[in-house]
């Protein structure tokens, strides 16, 4: 079914049927202040960390609620609706709703009872708060009297788990206060005289209109046995001027507006983490409501300019939409947030995953090489002096002074008990691509500290990464799988071995040979050539007729044996046999044909096949998932890119393009 379309002229995705099968979300903001908003205005906001800096509450697996809601009530007949379809959910035969997800903003346009409303949610460039810019137009031939109300639901504690789980604490630490168009939430206010930094202060304000009533208490706003779609405060047309003392705080502000026939009014709700003085300064900056127009135009120009380094025009409008706007935009989002905040990652990851972040850098090297250089340097400073990467890099990472998985303190704080086999190996293709894009070969000489202690130049950091993989090997002399490789459900341990990681190491050695030649490091170059030949022989033995095996378990069981009843064909390392330069043309043709025959579907290639149901072996945790889900035989988007790259490198452009279309949102737009 089709729910929307790509608007290439405005670089927006337009959702004209709000009843999507799942929330379709957009990102707002930057690393300092982030927000997620769905096509029905659901989502949450946070400062720096979605885990420990949460501002707005969101109920995962809870019908995409609560959110950033704006209600309109007709004061004459008492009818009310919301500017996004949810939460009120008026009959779509009478109510029209369109969501336009743009680059750093989302706009909702609704039409109901001769009233056209528009709200644009955005975070102004380089600011740490968000704006809900509202326009309401009266299309009627008579004047209309309306009540406009904005609603947000504050967390009781910035720590996601504290807010939702530790209720015996979090229900008794919050309160609200109202003054002159600003409603403030205060958390742990009693500690103000002891430690000001421990007191959290949020605000919800109204610009270009006078507040007629307010409410800081969620229960008072909703009313007994009412919900977001029918709050008592909205039904009454008066929020009651309630403050919150304990339990659950909210921000709700109403204003009475009279709109002449065929006229328009503008106002803005503003929300963020600020004390009263700073909140007042922010609010005062919107005395001229047209400030919002200027900020939005600035934001659009900023984002669109970031895509300028690569623009294409081809016979395929779908391809052009993705390459020119949506691929780079999404790559910038993952570059900024890694996997730290989404509608799937609920806030448990309080930092950057090493492997994820280093891979995410690759997506924008050609668009913003300076930003990627800074992030590469940051991730190198999160490499341990034994060559491995920190599995989780904290947002407040302190190079040279961090604990590691060898320390109990790190394991307790991050929940990561051991090193991963692949983390530091992602540095090689990322740094190689950066150097190829920029020609900045002097970067190899830049001195960067390790996470825990000592420092080295980039070239030596990479030497350490190769050494870690070589010295952590199993009995077949391939890299040990350790706590996990790319597949988090494949726990091969210190004795089990990963063919995927061995192919990553093979690519790393190839890249490092080029660097060693540039550095005139003859002894190390000779060592690398010897190791490459050895790994060629080792990996040749892993070829099983028409595929490479996946590896060995700690007890020596072959994973991905073609004779196995289950999980006998795996995707990623088949692609990497070509990407790494390991497979010759004959072998590449064979394994890629096997991938097409066994793994491919109309929506992309499966991660492995057949799914696991009963063939249990040590270290494979994906058996916990239903067949066809997650690591147990589902379709992951990231590996499609590797398969497309492998087919392209092997000269199969048409098949690569077919794979691209199978997994690309623009080509699947009518099949949502």
In a domain, 477, yes or no: no
pLDDT score, position 338 = 83
pLDDT at 161: 87
Cα Dmax for the chain: 87
Do residues 409 and 453 touch, judged by C-beta distance below 8 A?
no
Separation in Å, CA 254 to CA 174, 382, 426, 648: 22, 48, 52, 58
Residue 235 lies in a domain: yes
Q: 191 lies in a domain?
A: yes
322-342 tens-digit pLDDT: 999 999 999 999 999 887 788
Q: What are phi and psi of 350, to 5 degrees?
A: -100, 60
Q: How far does the chain reach from its first CA to its final CA, in angstroms?
A: 5
Q: CB–CB of 43/68 below 8 Å? A: yes
DSSP 303-351: HHHHTTT-----S-HHHHHIIIIIHHHHHHHHHHHTTSSSSSS-S---E
Judge whether residue 229 has pLDDT over 90: yes
DSSP assignment letter at 509: H
What does the pLDDT average to over 629-635?
Answer: 95
What's 416's DSSP letter? -
pTM: 0.96
Determine the pLDDT at residue 305.
97
| pLDDT for the residue numbered 615 | 77
- Residue 488 designated active-site: yes
Mean pLDDT, range 109-138, rounded to an integer: 98
Q: What is the pLDDT of residues 370-402, one digit of tens each?
A: 999 999 999 999 999 999 999 999 999 999 999
Tens of pLDDT, residue by residue over 520-536, are: 999 999 999 999 999 99
pLDDT digits (tens, 9 = 90+) for 633-651: 999 999 999 999 999 999 9
Q: Given this model, what pLDDT does residue 193 score?
A: 74
CA dihedral 655, 658, 660, 663 (to 10 degrees): -130
* Residue 56 domain flag: yes
Phi, psi of 182 (to 5 degrees): -125, 125
Q: Which pLDDT belongs to residue 443?
A: 98
The pLDDT score that the predictor gives to residue 378 is 98
Report residue 41 as tokens. 């205005």
Q: How confident is the model at residue 123 (pLDDT cuts 50, 70, 90)?
A: very high
What is the domain count for the chain? 1
Out of 356, 488, 544, 546, which one is annotated catalytic?
488
Collapsing DSSP to helix, strand or coil, 175 comes out as strand
At 429 the pLDDT is 98
Look at 623 and 178; give whichever has higher pLDDT.
178
- Contact at 8 Å (CB) between 275 and 201? yes
pLDDT band at 619 (very low <50, low <70, confident <90, very high): confident
Q: CA 364, CA 482: separation in Å to the nearest integer?
A: 30
pLDDT score of 223: 97
Arithmetic mean of pLDDT, 532-546: 97
Is a pLDDT exceeding 80 seen at residue 72? yes
pLDDT of res. 137: 98
What is the reported pLDDT for 655? 98
Calpha distance 72→150 (Å, rounded): 9
pLDDT, residue 197, reads 75
Mean pLDDT for the stretch of residues 425-450: 98
Q: How far is CA 53 from CA 69, 122, 123, 540, 668, in A?
A: 21, 18, 16, 49, 35
Pair 384, 401: CB distance under 8 Å: no
For 428, phi then psi, to 5°, come to: -65, -55
Number of other CB atoms surrounding residue 621 within 10 Å = 14
The answer to the question of residue 112 being in a domain is yes
Give me the pLDDT at residue 620, please. 82
- Domain for residue 121, yes or no? yes
Phi, psi of 265 (to 5 degrees): -120, 150
Please tell me the predicted confidence (pLDDT) of residue 668: 94
The closest alpha carbon to 434, from 398, 380, 500, belongs to 380
Q: CA 551, 555, 561, 566 torsion: positive or negative? A: negative
Does residue 454 surpass a pLDDT of 90?
yes
E strands in 143-208: 144-153, 174-179, 182-187, 200-207
In three-state secondary structure terms, 499 is helix
Please report whether residue 576 resides in a domain.
no
Higher confidence at residue 614 or residue 450?
450
Does 297 have pLDDT greater than 90?
A: yes
Q: What average pLDDT does this structure show over 608-629?
A: 88
pLDDT at 669: 94
Residue 438: which of 356, 376, 513 has the closest Cα?
376
Residue range(s) defining the domain that contains residue 83: 4-291
Band of the pLDDT at 349, cuts 50, 70, 90? confident
* CATH number for 268: 2.70.98.40
Mean of pLDDT over the chain: 96
**DSSP state for residue 657 in the 8-state scheme:** H
Asked, for residue 611, whether it belongs to a domain, the answer is no
pLDDT tens column, 169-215: 999 999 999 999 999 999 999 887 777 777 899 999 999 999 999 99
* Cα–Cα distance, 152 to 132 (Å, whole number): 11
Tokens coding 65: 């609620």
- For residues 285 and 308, what is the distance between their CA atoms, to the nearest angstrom? 32
């Amino acid at each position: 079914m089709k729910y929307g379309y790509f608007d290439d002229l405005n670089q927006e995705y337009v959702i004209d049927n709000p009843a999507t099968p799942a929330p379709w979300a957009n990102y707002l903001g930057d690393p300092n202040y982030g927000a997620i908003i769905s096509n029905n205005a659901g989502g949450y906001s946070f400062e720096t960390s979605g885990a420990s800096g949460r501002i707005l509450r969101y109920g995962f697996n809870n019908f995409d609620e609560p959110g950033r809601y704006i209600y309109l009530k007709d004061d004459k007949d008492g009818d009310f609706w919301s500017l996004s379809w949810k939460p009120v959910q008026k009959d779509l035969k009478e109510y029209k709703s369109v969501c336009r997800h743009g680059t750093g903003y989302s706009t909702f346009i609704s039409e109901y009872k001769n009233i056209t409303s528009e709200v644009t949610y955005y975070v102004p460039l380089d600011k740490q708060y968000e704006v809900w810019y509202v326009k309401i137009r009266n299309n009627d031939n008579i004047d209309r009297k309306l009540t406009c109300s904005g609603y947000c639901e504050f967390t009781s504690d910035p720590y996601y788990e504290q807010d939702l789980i530790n209720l015996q604490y979090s229900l008794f630490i919050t309160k609200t206060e109202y003054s002159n168009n600003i409603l403030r939430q205060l958390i742990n206010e009693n500690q103000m005289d002891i430690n000001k930094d421990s007191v959290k202060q949020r605000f919800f304000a109204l610009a270009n209109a006078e507040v007629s009533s307010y409410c800081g208490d969620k229960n008072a706003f909703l009313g007994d046995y009412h919900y977001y779609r029918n709050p008592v405060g909205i039904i009454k047309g008066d929020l009651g001027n309630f403050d919150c003392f304990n339990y659950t705080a909210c921000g709700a502000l109403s204003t009475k507006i009279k709109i002449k026939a065929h006229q328009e009014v503008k106002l803005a709700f503003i929300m963020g983490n600020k004390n009263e003085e700073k909140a007042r300064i922010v609010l005062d900056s919107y005395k001229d409501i047209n400030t919002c127009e200027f900020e939005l135009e600035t934001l659009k120009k900023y984002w669109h300019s970031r895509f300028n380094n690569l623009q294409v025009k081809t016979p395929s409008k779908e391809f052009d939409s993705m390459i020119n706007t949506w691929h780079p935009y999404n790559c910038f989002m993952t570059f900024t947030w890694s996997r730290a905040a989404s509608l799937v990652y609920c806030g448990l990851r309080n930092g950057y995953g090493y492997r994820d972040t280093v891979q995410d850098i690759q997506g924008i090297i050609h668009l913003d090489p300076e930003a990627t250089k800074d992030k590469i340097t940051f991730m190198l400073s999160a490499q341990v002096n034994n060559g491995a990467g920190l599995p989780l890099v904290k947002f407040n990472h302190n190079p040279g002074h961090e604990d590691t998985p060898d320390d109990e303190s790190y394991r307790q704080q991050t929940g990561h008990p051991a090193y991963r086999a692949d983390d530091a190996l992602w540095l090689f293709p990322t740094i190689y691509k950066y150097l190829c894009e920029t020609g900045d070969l002097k970067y190899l000489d830049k001195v960067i500290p390790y996470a825990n202690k000592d420092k080295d130049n980039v070239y030596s950091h990479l030497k350490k990464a190769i050494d870690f993989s070589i010295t952590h090997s199993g009995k077949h002399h391939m890299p040990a799988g350790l706590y996990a490789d790319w597949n988090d459900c494949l726990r091969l341990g210190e004795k089990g071995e990963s063919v995927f990681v061995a192919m990553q190491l093979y690519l790393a050695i190839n890249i490092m040979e080029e660097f060693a030649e540039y550095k005139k490091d003859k002894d190390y170059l000779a060592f690398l050539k010897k190791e490459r030949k050895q790994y060629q022989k080792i990996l040749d033995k892993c070829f099983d007729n028409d595929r490479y095996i996946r590896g060995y378990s700690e007890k020596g069981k072959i994973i991905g044996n073609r004779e196995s009843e289950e999980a006998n064909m795996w995707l990623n390392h088949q692609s990497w046999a070509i990407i790494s330069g390991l497979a010759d043309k004959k072998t590449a043709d064979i394994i890629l044909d096997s991938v097409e025959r066994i793994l491919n579907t109309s929506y992309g290639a499966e991660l492995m096949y057949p799914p696991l149901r009963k063939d249990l072996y040590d270290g494979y945790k994906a058996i916990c998932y239903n067949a066809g889900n997650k690591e147990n035989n589902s379709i992951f988007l990231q590996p499609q890119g590797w398969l497309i790259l492998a087919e392209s490198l092997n000269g199969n452009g048409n098949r690569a393009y077919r794979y691209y279309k199978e997994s690309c949102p623009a080509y699947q737009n009518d099949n949502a």
